[in-house]
Amino acid sequence: MKPRILVVDDESDLLWALRYALGDESYEVETVSSATEALAFVEDWRPDLILADVVMPGIDGFELCRRLRRDIRFASIPVIFLTALLDTADRIKA
């Protein structure tokens, strides 16, 4: 079974680019456009890795990660943040 990557971002162009870049024969890639969708999606499709934007409307990437960590079923899924934020405090928070 190929490793599964879930990409979470509200920018459709970035979702398309990441799906194209990662979706070769090595990975199974799915994309969703919000953290709310991601939380529902992981219930049925357990990713091995989540790539998540930090700045999204509604639930941001930090809160998505907090909610995943609170649920024992998803707490061990690695999350890599995708962001243009350069503030040191945001990096430490991540």
**Count of structural domains, the chain:** 1
Domain that holds residue 28: 4-93
Split at pLDDT 50, 70, 90, the class of 21 is confident
79 pLDDT above the threshold of 90 = yes
Residue 62, token pair as written in the block: 């930090």
49-53 vs 28-32, strand pairing mode: unpaired
DSSP string, 21-52: HH-STT-EEEEESSHHHHHHHHHHS--SEEEE
pLDDT of residue 65: 95
When pLDDT is averaged across residues 19-24 and rounded to a whole number, the result is: 83
CATH number at residue 88: 3.40.50.2300
pLDDT of residue 26: 85
Residue of 34, 20, 24, 17 whose CA lies nearest to 3:
24
